[in-house]
A and B are shown apart, each in its own frame.
Chain A
Amino acid sequence: MPILEHLWIIPLLPLLGATVNGLFGRTWPNKIVNSVAVGATGLSFLAALEAVREFFLLSPEQIPWVRQYFSWIEAGNFRAGFDLQVDQLTVVMLLVVTGVGWLIHIYSMGYMAHEGGYYRFFAYLNLFMFFMLILVMAANYVLLFVGWEGVGLASYLLIGFYFLRKSAADAGKKAFIVNRIGDFGFMLGMFLLFRTFGTLDFVKLFDTATPLSAEAMGHLGTLTVACLLLFMGAAGKSAQIPLYVWLPDAMEGPTPVSALIHAATMVTAGVYVVARSHVLFMRAPTAMLVVAVVGCATALFAATIGLVQTDIKKVLAYSTVSQLGYMFLACGVGAFSAGIFHLMTHAFFKALLFLAAGSVIHAMGGEQDLLHMGGLSKKIKWTFRTMFVGTLAIAGIPPLAGFFSKDSILLSAYQSENGGPNAGHILYVAGLLTALLTSFYMFRLIFLTFFGKERYDEHHVHVHESPKSMLVPLAILAVLSIVGGWLAAPAFWGKPDYFAKFLEPVFAAPTGSEAGTAEAVAHALETPLAIVAVIIATLGGLAAWWLYLKQPDKPDALAKSFSGVYRTLLHKYYVDEFYNAAIVRPLLWLSTNVFWKTVDVSIIDGAVNGIAEGITVVGDGTRRTQSGNTRSYAVWVVVGAIVIVAVIFWPHVRPVLGVAR
């Protein structure tokens, strides 16, 4: 088992690529830079494939496969090691990260060809791959946190890739700072877990937690608090309410970055952590309900904003936030495998959509505004075809990937009874509404971009199809977006869902007769719910078709008649403005007036400068005693003598004079 013994090779290859490119790439021609970067990721992908092949040969007792390479922190009974772990969940994440990551590297070769800082881009991208692989392969929370922070760093660097543009630099900072808020919760969660269980290794921790009984709903026990804190971190990284504001701004980065980091991999880390900690979450129903409600609310909320955005990448960004909400909804109702399944299919079709959007932007010479596109379907055929596949997939049209994953989430939400008998139905309806909106805004995007009149100046914009290196990844992702969901297809004819079956050892399904009846009920519900979902998705598409192709004047008229709603949506519910007024500005005021001007300038600087100034004043005064006049010196000698005599004789004189002590 060579690779399974040497798991460290998989993350180390991209790190090597990042180091080589970062140190020496500056003077190298683009060809060498991208062969190093793409080669490193490609080899890492191959190593991951080999590891997965070997993984399937393992016997069930050997899973989870944990290898300890060295101890990183050892203090008292605390040990955090560089330990890597492979189980079914890791396998899924590993393949998604390396596979999609590799495709996006290939795509970037073409997309970034005319940009400055080529070596820098690939070095950062490889660095991201390294940290992401550490994140998904870590066998304890501490190492996971290293990857967690590392991907945050890579994200910051890549959002601010065009750092000369102020908006890009600001967006990078925003992403970093908002994530810090979440990370604060994550760290507190880790501390609490360590205090309770005495270890942060997944295997040991979950073994200790398994016999514990679930905490009561509404009771803030240790597990519930720890889970809520972990979820705070997850909400930051995965852009959930109320910490989602950084993701739309993160679109300032180059498009492949949006595809890789801000759609397919990094932002799903939060979902991964919740799924990884499912043992804890299953025993904290309150936390589960919070996860479900926050996920569901985010899904609906972001989808409504996506309806009216006109920037092609912003639409996709809100769509990503919305789909991440879906994944959390799945985790929150206990359908972890459905959440991870959606994570995987979403990685395929959202990476595809972003890359296709990048191809459109490339073709339009940098134009991102949907209102300045139109009629592109004939000019960039392959981009159009692949993007259309992606749209069908995300809208949930069978038999594409999104249909299956969304369907299993909605089914689980419908059946959920956590938090009351009707809670699941409310979540289901909200999820269905989100599906309607998703389908609508995605088809709106397609119709505005590829159909209708050409709304750009043909003399200035020379529309051209992208190079092969960009189209091949698009095609591969399109195929994956079609077939990726078929793993779950057998559920429709009563056979076990392969994907859920595969993950079952990790998410230990309910046992005994209970499981049997649940499955029967699920199967009975499966088809009607799927039909409803498809009808809803089709309705959304038709509505978009009617509004943006059939009656192109209607949207404006609608916007006018509902101008209040329209403007609220266009300004994203004024959340940024609210955060600015409620948090950023008071904080800035506090920092400026209290911490800077009062504490730093007045107190700290004041003390330092005050001492110096006081000494100057004293020196200035005593300087005058050195007059040069001999007699004045003589006087000082006498004064000194008197003082000495007084000091010596004072104890003897005091009782005589009757002075009290």
Chain B
Amino acid sequence: MIPTNYYIVLSAILFGLGVLAFIFKRNIISIFMSIELMLNAVNLAFVAFSQAMHKLDGQVFVLFVIVVAAAEAAVGLAIIILTARNRQSLNVERVDLLKL
């Protein structure tokens, strides 16, 4: 049996990679994907703990996360398409109107 620690470390590494990509990537689609990566890193942690503690709560939670991620993907992609249409670009640097 693989110890829980391994899963947690893997989850942390994945999450860290997601964060780094989230910060440094310029393409909106890449950023979007890094968010998905972070969500799934968390899912991995949930499942690992669920297994380790013999409780189902973690697995139920993972299902919720997947549902939310799907909804988020639908809305997010719609926004991305609109942005791409308006600006003819997917570079996030050019989205800078979010201020008063």
A residues at B contact (CB < 8 Å): 626-631, 633-635, 638
Q: How far is the CB of A630 from chain B (nearest CB, A)?
A: 5
Instruction: Name the contact of B19 in the complex, choosing from A626, A629, A638 (C-beta under 8 A).
Output: A638
Q: How far is the CB of B95 from chain A (nearest CB, A)?
A: 5
Q: How far is the CB of B90 from chain A (nearest CB, A)?
A: 12
> Within 8 Å CB of B22, what residues of A?
634, 638
> Within 8 Å CB of A630, what residues of B?
92, 95-96, 98
> Within 8 Å CB of B92, what residues of A?
630-631
A638 to B15, CA, bound (A): 12
The yes or no answer to B75 lying at the interface (CB within 8 A) is: no
Q: How far is the CB of A632 from chain B (nearest CB, A)?
A: 9
A633 to B95, CA, bound (A): 11
B23 to A629, Cβ gap below 8 A? no
A631 to B23, CA, bound (A): 7
A630 to B23, CA, bound (A): 10
A630 to B19, CA, bound (A): 15
Q: How far is the CB of A559 from chain B (nearest CB, A)?
A: 85
> Within 8 Å CB of A633, what residues of B?
98
A626 to B22, CA, bound (A): 19
| A630 and chain B: residue at smallest CB distance | B95
> Within 8 Å CB of A634, what residues of B?
22-23, 31
Instruction: Name the contact of A631 in the complex, choosing from B19, B93, B97, B100 (C-beta under 8 A).
Output: B93
What would be 18 A-B contacts, judged by CB atoms less than 8 Å apart?
Answer: A627-B96, A627-B99, A628-B96, A628-B97, A628-B99, A629-B96, A629-B98, A630-B95, A630-B96, A631-B23, A631-B92, A633-B98, A634-B22, A634-B23, A634-B31, A638-B19, A638-B22, A638-B23
A630 to B27, CA, bound (A): 12
Contact A629 B100, CB 8 Å, known A635-B23, A638-B19, A638-B23: no
- Interface centre among A626, A627, A629, by most B CB within 10 Å? A629
Kindly supply a per-residue 1/0 record for chain B positions 12-43, scoring 1 wherever the CB is within 8 Å of any chain A CB and 0 otherwise: 00000001001100100001000000000000
B residues at A contact (CB < 8 Å): 19, 22-23, 26, 31, 92-93, 95-100
> Within 8 Å CB of A628, what residues of B?
96-99
Q: How far is the CB of B15 from chain A (nearest CB, A)?
A: 10
> Within 8 Å CB of A629, what residues of B?
93, 95-96, 98
| B97 and chain A: residue at smallest CB distance | A628
A628 to B96, CA, bound (A): 4
A566 to B70, CA, bound (A): 111
Q: How far is the CB of B18 from chain A (nearest CB, A)?
A: 10
Q: A638-B19, A638-B22 are in contact. List 20 more A-B contacts (CB 8 A).
A: A626-B99, A627-B99, A628-B96, A628-B97, A628-B99, A629-B93, A629-B95, A629-B96, A629-B98, A630-B92, A630-B96, A630-B98, A631-B23, A631-B26, A631-B92, A633-B98, A634-B22, A634-B23, A634-B31, A638-B23
| B34 and chain A: residue at smallest CB distance | A634
A25 to B35, CA, bound (A): 87
| B100 and chain A: residue at smallest CB distance | A626
| B99 and chain A: residue at smallest CB distance | A628
Q: How far is the CB of B8 from chain A (nearest CB, A)?
A: 14
> Within 8 Å CB of B99, what residues of A?
626-628
> Within 8 Å CB of B93, what residues of A?
629, 631
Q: How far is the CB of A73 from chain B (nearest CB, A)?
A: 60
A532 to B100, CA, bound (A): 100
Q: How far is the CB of B75 from chain A (nearest CB, A)?
A: 16
| B19 and chain A: residue at smallest CB distance | A638
Closest 5 CB pairs of A and B: A628-B99, A628-B96, A629-B96, A630-B95, A628-B98
A635 to B25, CA, bound (A): 12
> Within 8 Å CB of A635, what residues of B?
23
A253 to B50, CA, bound (A): 100
> Within 8 Å CB of B26, what residues of A?
631
A34 to B22, CA, bound (A): 94
A626 to B100, CA, bound (A): 9
A182 to B30, CA, bound (A): 87
A638 to B93, CA, bound (A): 17
Q: How far is the CB of B11 from chain A (nearest CB, A)?
A: 14
> Within 8 Å CB of B31, what residues of A?
634
A128 to B52, CA, bound (A): 98
A635 to B97, CA, bound (A): 17
A630 to B26, CA, bound (A): 11
A629 to B98, CA, bound (A): 7
> Within 8 Å CB of B100, what residues of A?
626
| B22 and chain A: residue at smallest CB distance | A634
| A628 and chain B: residue at smallest CB distance | B99
- Interface centre among B26, B96, B97, by most A CB within 10 Å? B96
> Within 8 Å CB of A631, what residues of B?
23, 26, 92-93
| A635 and chain B: residue at smallest CB distance | B23
| B24 and chain A: residue at smallest CB distance | A631
Q: How far is the CB of A652 from chain B (nearest CB, A)?
A: 15
A633 to B23, CA, bound (A): 10
A633 to B19, CA, bound (A): 13
A633 to B98, CA, bound (A): 9
